[in-house]
Amino acid sequence: MELINQRWTLSRYPAGLPSEDDFRFETAAVPELADGEVLLAVRIVSLDPGQRFLIEEAAGMVPLGGVVPAWIVGEVIASRSPDYPIGTLARDVMAQGGVQRYSVVKATDLVPVRGDAPLSWYAGALGMSGQTAYFGLLDVGRPLAGETVLVSGATGAVGSIAAQIARIKGARVVGIARGTEKTQRLIDDFRLDAAIDASAENISSALQGICPGGVNLFFDTVGGEVLEAVLPHMVFKGRIASAGMIASYNRTVSLPGLRNYEIVFGRALRWEGVFVGGYVDRYAEATAQLEAWARSGELVFEEHVGVGLQAFPGMFKELFARRPIGKMLIRVDEAG
């Protein structure tokens, strides 16, 4: 029986904040598999700021009419790879899964889901977001017990996990978020030591009071003005782990360059980017540790789940507005 796919494609490149007209909902036949490919019934679609980056015209990643890229979790329903027999649950690591019901993916772009945690976890806290936090914090940032760690976007899917890992490792952790509800939750739920409300406080003045001895490690997911405000508070030989720059993703004009860049060499900072795609070989290690922390209650997280592919354009827009705390996901159907 021929399978009919349902999918969201790109109808035009977004200018600024994504709008519903940038996407088109379509049906299409599911293509035949080539050697090394598998057909996945997509169960969970992860919503990530990185998708906005991938659908930028300048990125040259998605042609108009192409499926909107997304990291997904799915079940293998046909396979031409001995590594992924029918029935295997897998997540893709290259955003090739896409916002669609069925997805043909190269087996080499998948990692198997091994474990019995709720499937949504593998798209969020144990998925690409959790992996970025884990490796970005521990491999790039390398916090030491007693150090002061500052995290921007600290209630986001990546930031909230990174901040909690820093706390678990014995650091003093300060989070930056926007709004009193979010900053209160950073203290009450994520059990950080202090929080800065970027919508109400001057970040630099707040840091003077909260981190008088300076910041040893800044885990940054926002960039732009937040990064500029933090730089003067970095200690000599401090580290910056740059995981993202969400402040710039929907800008129609580029952000100005850093005006206080001299601090990077003046304080001998180590400033290193985080690229989660470089850690696929170690996903199993991070997954096991993140799951253990989550099951023990040391690591907490929230999910905002839409049901059905029709939820995509609205939720994708919400991702860049004053969004709720935690990971945004779509269950393709109720059973997902």
Query: Which residues are at the interface with ligand NAP (CB under 6 A)?
Result: 48-50, 128-129, 132, 153, 155-159, 177-178, 182, 221-222, 243-247, 274-276, 319-320, 322-323
Rounded-to-integer distance, Cα 97 and Cα 17, Å: 23
CB of 39 to ligand NAP, least distance (A): 26
> Please, which residue, 38 or 163, has the CB nearer to ligand NAP?
163
CB of 304 to ligand NAP, least distance (A): 10
CB of 247 to ligand NAP, least distance (A): 4
* CA triple 62-63-68, angle to 5 deg: 45
* Tokens (6 digits) for 102: 């069925």
Q: In the chain, count of helices (H) and strands (E)?
A: 9, 15
> Please, which residue, 30 or 243, has the CB nearer to ligand NAP?
243
> Please, which residue, 105 or 241, has the CB nearer to ligand NAP?
241
CB of 170 to ligand NAP, least distance (A): 23
Within 10 Å of residue 21's Cβ, how many Cβ atoms?
A: 10
Report whether 327 contacts 167 (CB < 8 A): no
* Tokens (6 digits) for 116: 């019995």
> Please, which residue, 271 or 320, has the CB nearer to ligand NAP?
320
CB of 226 to ligand NAP, least distance (A): 7
Rounded-to-integer distance, Cα 143 and Cα 228, Å: 21
> Please, which residue, 39 or 151, has the CB nearer to ligand NAP?
151
Rounded-to-integer distance, Cα 128 and Cα 93, Å: 7
**Amino acid making up residue 190:** F
